[in-house]
């Protein structure tokens, strides 16, 4: 009997051994073929080949068939990888943008206490040259590369200030730049604390802990953690932030992959600051990675109400490997699982046929349960407990902000800033009706045009009606509808005045009070923030959402 069992086990193991052997053979074969092809190309191809470019393209194509997070960094690009993980780089500390009409890149937003602000650069300043090299016609990336460098190095910057027409030269010294981790925190209405976390970089949890304790000392009775537009970062920092609100010794996230030695469980390691204060976490479509670990764990542990819209759905973990010749490979090694046991990865990356992606449909997601027995699902990101859609940006506002080649909005803001040495505090500042009317007249005089969605839909409807043979019978109705949908910029500017006015105010406030002030001002109009505050002021409704599920 024993001999029979051993024989069966040996037979069962044969297919696996054969698969391993086939796999190893295919790997060796394809590497040999690749090597032989390039050797022959280099020896016999009609033109000389650049090995970095040809082989580099081969590497990019290979990694491109996997997922967007697996990336090769040659030695000259390793600095970019370090910036990605630390959020730090050496430069002047300013957002810049290229304006086609001017054919120059301009300063859009200097950061507080950074070289750009210290040198006196302002919104709208045209970057004419860097160390004597003209920046005319150079795109944003080119200018950015020349503004960056080693910390402590200096360069000569020549700019033109549009409000005065003057050209100025200044010596600017680069230093290590890090965007604010906490964009803004403070006490809001009804003793509700608010904190906007921008990214999960090294030691950010310590900053969040300090801010939370400060708000508690100010008398905070409810807390809003804003993770909208937070693309993530350090997994450990996400665990440390969750630890502020849940007890020591709780498993927050588990990494599982092919190699057991890189699997890891992350637990909370210190005593929390507060485990009972009512809490709302704001999320959206740009909430990803470590932000989803934070919001998903707090949801699974029934520690907070998640509010907003469904998150991005990145459930993959990357690590870096050193490569020959000082290169690095950032590669996906694991999926992560939050306390309920679910992985919230929204996209399957298939590697056949050159690689393609497919979104996990809701019908194929599986049910999991929170600590209190509430139903949650895997795949497709974190679905909020309370869904609140944000206000959408109308088409005309998007065109004015990002597309308008005449730059009417920026020019108005630059002139407004030049004419006002100071403005009211962020929570109080507001443009007058007269200010907005002046802006409106500028837009109309500039002959501003934009593509209206209603116009696009109308044209598509006409095409469809003609194709199906209905157009001739309804020709008069179509003509009347087209007349009603006639392009009227003045009417659209009036109709969308509240949103456009908010955009103008936000940009102007940023020039005086930086990102902190802009965030504070934007909260006044924030529909999702209002819903969060309303919920925290209704304890019974809040508790009902997180209440344990009674088993039938």
Distance, first Cα to last Cα, the chain: 49
Report CA Rg, the chain. Answer: 28
Name the nearest CA neighbour of 413 among 205, 226, 163: 163
Q: Which residue in 234, 289, 291, 340 is the catalytic one?
A: 289
Q: Where are the alpha helices (DSSP H) in 323-469?
A: 395-398, 408-419, 433-445, 453-468
Do the beta carbons of residue 49 and residue 42 sit within 8 Å?
Answer: yes
CA gap 258, 335 in Å, rounded: 10
Residues 378, 432 contacting (CB under 8 angstroms): no
Asked if 300 is an active-site residue, the reply is yes
Rounded to the nearest 10 degrees, how much is the dihedral formed by the CA atoms of 29, 31, 35, 41? 80
Active-site residue (options: 123, 158, 314, 501):
314
Measured from the Cβ of residue 350, the count of other Cβ atoms closer than 10 Å reads 13
Active-site residue, selected from the candidate residues 207, 226, 300, 404: 300
Q: What number of H helices and E strands is found in the chain?
A: 17, 23
CA distance 281 to 383: 12
* Dihedral angle, C-alpha 433, 439, 445, 451, nearest 10 °: -100
Q: Give Cα 116 to chain centroid, integer Å.
A: 24
Contact 291, 231 (CB under 8 A): yes
Exposed / middle / buried, residue 128 (Cβ in 10 Å: 0-12, 13-18, 19+): middle
Task: Please state, in angstroms and rounded to a whole number, the distance separating the CA atoms of residues 390 and 284.
Answer: 9
- For residue 316, give both structure tokens: 């993959």
Cα 115-121-126 angle, rounded to 5 deg: 125
SS3 13: helix
Q: How far apart, in Å, are the Cα atoms of 412 and each of 97, 261, 404, 432, 443? A: 16, 58, 13, 14, 10
Annotated active-site residue 534? The verdict is no
Q: Where are the alpha helices (DSSP H) in 301-384?
A: none
Looking at residue 132, what DSSP letter applies? T
- Residue 207 bears catalytic tag: no
Structure tokens that stand for 170 in this block: 């200044």
- Catalytic residue ranges: 289, 300, 314
């Amino acid at each position: 009997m024993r001999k029979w069992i051993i024989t069966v086990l040996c037979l069962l193991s044969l297919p696996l051994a054969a698969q391993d052997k086939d796999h190893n053979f295919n790997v060796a074969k394809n590497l040999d073929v690749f090597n032989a092809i390039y050797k022959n190309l280099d020896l016999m191809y009609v033109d000389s080949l650049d090995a970095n470019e040809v082989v580099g393209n081969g590497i990019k194509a290979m990694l491109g068939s996997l997922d967007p997070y697996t990336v090769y960094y040659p030695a000259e690009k390793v600095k970019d990888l370090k910036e990605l993980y630390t959020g730090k780089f050496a430069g002047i500390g300013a957002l810049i943008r290229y304006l086609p009409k001017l054919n120059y890149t301009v300063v859009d937003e200097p950061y507080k206490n950074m070289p750009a602000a210290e040198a006196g650069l302002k919104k709208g300043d045209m970057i004419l040259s860097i160390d004597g090299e003209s920046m005319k016609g150079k795109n944003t990336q080119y200018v950015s590369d020349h503004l960056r460098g080693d910390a402590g190095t200096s360069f000569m910057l020549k700019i033109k200030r549009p409000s005065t027409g003057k050209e100025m030269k200044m010596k600017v010294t680069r230093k290590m730049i890090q965007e604010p981790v906490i964009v803004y925190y403070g006490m809001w209405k009804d003793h509700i604390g608010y904190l906007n976390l921008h990214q999960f970089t090294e030691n950010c949890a310590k900053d969040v802990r300090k801010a939370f304790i400060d708000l508690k000392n100010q008398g905070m009775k409810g807390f809003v953690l804003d993770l909208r537009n937070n693309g993530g970062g350090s997994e450990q920092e996400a665990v440390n932030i969750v630890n502020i609100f849940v007890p020591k010794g709780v498993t927050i996230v588990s990494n599982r992959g092919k190699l057991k030695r890189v699997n890891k469980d992350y637990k909370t390691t210190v005593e929390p600051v507060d485990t009972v204060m009512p809490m709302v976490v704001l999320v959206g479509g740009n909430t990803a990675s470590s932000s989803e670990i934070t919001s998903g764990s707090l949801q699974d542990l029934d520690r907070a109400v998640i509010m907003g819209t469904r998150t991005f759905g990145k459930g993959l973990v990357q690590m870096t490997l050193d490569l020959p010749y000082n290169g690095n490979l950032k590669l996906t090694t694991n999926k992560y699982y939050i306390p309920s046991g679910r992985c919230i990865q929204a996209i399957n990356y298939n590697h056949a046929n050159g690689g393609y992606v497919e979104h996990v449909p809701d019908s194929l997601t599986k049910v999991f349960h929170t600590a209190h027995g509430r139903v949650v699902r895997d795949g497709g990101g974190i679905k909020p407990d309370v869904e609140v859609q944000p206000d959408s940006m109308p088409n005309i506002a998007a065109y004015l902000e990002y597309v308008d080649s005449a730059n009417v909005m920026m020019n108005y803001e630059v002139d407004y800033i030049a004419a006002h040495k100071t403005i009211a505090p962020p929570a109080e500042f507001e443009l007058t009706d007269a200010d907005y009317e002046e802006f409106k007249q500028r837009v109309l005089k500039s002959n501003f045009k934009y593509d209206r969605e209603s116009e696009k839909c109308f044209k598509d409807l006409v095409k469809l009606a003609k194709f199906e043979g209905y157009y001739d019978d309804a020709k008069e109705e179509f003509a009347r509808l087209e007349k009603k949908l006639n392009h009227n910029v003045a009417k659209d500017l009036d109709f969308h005045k509240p949103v456009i006015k908010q955009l103008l105010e936000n940009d102007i406030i940023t020039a005086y009070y930086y990102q902190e002030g802009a965030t504070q001002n934007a909260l006044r109009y924030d529909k999702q923030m209002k819903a969060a505050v309303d919920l925290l002021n209704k304890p019974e409704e809040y508790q009902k959402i997180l209440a344990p599920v009674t088993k039938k």
